[in-house]
A = this chain, B = another copy of it.
Amino acid sequence: MISQYNIPTRIFMGEGCVLAKAAELAPLGKKALIVTGRSSAVKSGALADIKAALDANGQEYAIYDSVMSNPTVECVYEGAEKAKSIGADFIIGIGGGSPMDAAKAIALLACQDIPRERLFDGNYDEKILPMAMVPTTAGTGSEATQYSIITNDARKTKTSISSPFMFPTLAYLDSRYLRAVPRNTAVNTAIDAFSHCVEGYLSVRANPITDALAREGMEAISSVFPRLAKGSLTDADRDKLLYASTIGGMVIAHTGTTAVHPMGYSLTYFKGADHGRANGLLLGAFLKSIENRCPERIGDIMTAIGMSGADELSRVLDTLLGGEERREKVTKDEAAYYASVAIKAKNIKNCIVTLTEAELYEIYLKSFGIKV
C-alpha cells in the first residue's frame, strides 16, 4: 500500500517562542486577523504575546473574538467577512480547537466564494490566506493538521472541512499558555489528544512514521494521567501534553480519526459533552470491542502506555472523567440514532477493523451502562 507523510507546518516549541520567533510572522503579510474566543487568548497571555510580536514587526491587526465552542457555519462566514473587510493578508488563530478550526475556515472563506450549502463538499481551490496558530489547550492538534471541524446543523453533527492547503504555515507551542486551563478542560483536551494517537494507530492509513509519533504521543500523555486526575500538573507535564497534542495532530493529519471521533460528535451535538470528554467516554468500550480482532496493534498501544488492556484503560479514563454515575444520560433509542449517524461518517472506514452499525450501538450501550 502506498502511504505518504507530509506536515508542511513550521513548529516552534519552547517558553517565549512567539516573541523569540516573531520575525517568522513577517513574511505572512502586512495585516492580520486574529481569530480567537472570548477569554482564553487573553487569560493565557498568548494574545498579548502575539500583539507584541506583530507590533515588533510593524504589522497591523484586527481581532475577531466571537468564536464559540464547536463553531458554527455562521461564525466562520462572519469571521471571513471581517477578514475581507479589513483586507487581512493572513490569519492568526489563538485558543483551543474551536478558535483554531474557525481560523482555518475563515482563511479559506476569505479567499473563495463558497456557498453555505456547499461548505462541507470539499474540492476547494488552492487559494487560502496563510495562517499561524497558537494553541492555548493541549488537545486538538489543529495547529498541525489540514482539518477544520465545524458544527454542521444540516446534518446535526460536526463535519470536517479538509484541504491539503489548510495546514498552518506556523505553529507556536508555549506551554505557559496552558497554565490558565481549568482541571476539567485539561483532562478533556488531553484525552482528545490521546484519542488522536490511539485512533491514528488503529487506522488503515497509518504508516511507520505516524506509528512512531502515535506511540510517543500516547506514552507522553498517559504518563501524565495520574497528575491530570489530581489536577496537579507541573510545567514539565504541560510541556509534554502540548507537544504530544501537536504530535497527535501530525498523526491524524495522515491517518484521519476512526470510530471514536464520529461517535463522539453526537454526544457533543445532542448532550453538550465536551469534545475530548465525548471521545474519552467511548474510547474504552471501543478498544474492548476490537481488542480480539487486532491484538498486535492493541498490544503495541498497551505497551506504549504501560497498561494491561482495554479494561485497565477504561478504569483510568473513569478516574479522569468520573464513573457511570456522573455520565450524561443516553437512552437506547438515542444510542441507536447516534450509531446510525456515526456509521455514515467517512472516518469509520479508516478503522483497521470493519465496524457495523450494530457494533457502534453496542459501544454506546456499554459506554453509558445502558441495559438492553
| Cβ-based interface call for A156 (8 A) | no
* Contact present for A9 and B12 (CB under 8 Å): no
* Contact present for B209 and A11 (CB under 8 Å): yes
The CA-CA distance from A361 to B4 in the complex, in Å, is 43
* Contact present for B11 and A5 (CB under 8 Å): yes
8 Å CB contacts to B: which residues of A309-326? none
| A9 cross-chain contacts in B, Cβ below 8 A | 6
8 Å CB contacts to B: which residues of A225-271? 239-240, 243-244, 246-247, 250
Distance in Å: Cβ of A177 to nearest Cβ of chain B: 15
| Cβ-based interface call for A149 (8 A) | no
* Nearest neighbor of A213 in chain B, beta-carbon distance: B212
A residues near B, CB below 8 A?
1-17, 20-21, 207-209, 211-213, 215-217, 220, 239-240, 243-244, 246-247, 250
* Contact present for A10 and B4 (CB under 8 Å): yes
| A250 cross-chain contacts in B, Cβ below 8 A | 209
| A12 cross-chain contacts in B, Cβ below 8 A | 2-4
| A15 cross-chain contacts in B, Cβ below 8 A | 2
Some 21 contacts from A to B, beta carbons below 8 A apart, are A1-B14, A2-B12, A2-B13, A2-B15, A2-B20, A2-B21, A3-B14, A4-B10, A4-B11, A4-B21, A5-B10, A6-B9, A6-B11, A13-B207, A208-B244, A209-B213, A211-B216, A212-B216, A212-B217, A212-B247, A216-B216
- Report, nearest first, the 7 A-B pairs whose CB atoms are least far apart: A212-B216, A2-B14, A6-B10, A5-B11, A208-B243, A2-B20, A2-B17
| A247 cross-chain contacts in B, Cβ below 8 A | 208-209, 212
The CA-CA distance from A215 to B217 in the complex, in Å, is 13
The CA-CA distance from A211 to B13 in the complex, in Å, is 14
| A7 cross-chain contacts in B, Cβ below 8 A | 7
| A5 cross-chain contacts in B, Cβ below 8 A | 10-11, 13
Distance in Å: Cβ of A306 to nearest Cβ of chain B: 13
| A240 cross-chain contacts in B, Cβ below 8 A | 208
| A10 cross-chain contacts in B, Cβ below 8 A | 4-6
The CA-CA distance from A213 to B2 in the complex, in Å, is 21
| A2 cross-chain contacts in B, Cβ below 8 A | 12-17, 20-21
Max count, chain B CB within 10 A of own CB: residue among A2, A6, A14: A2
| A207 cross-chain contacts in B, Cβ below 8 A | 13, 243
The CA-CA distance from A208 to B5 in the complex, in Å, is 18
| A243 cross-chain contacts in B, Cβ below 8 A | 207-209
The CA-CA distance from A270 to B2 in the complex, in Å, is 42
* Contact present for A13 and B212 (CB under 8 Å): no
* Contact present for B209 and A212 (CB under 8 Å): no
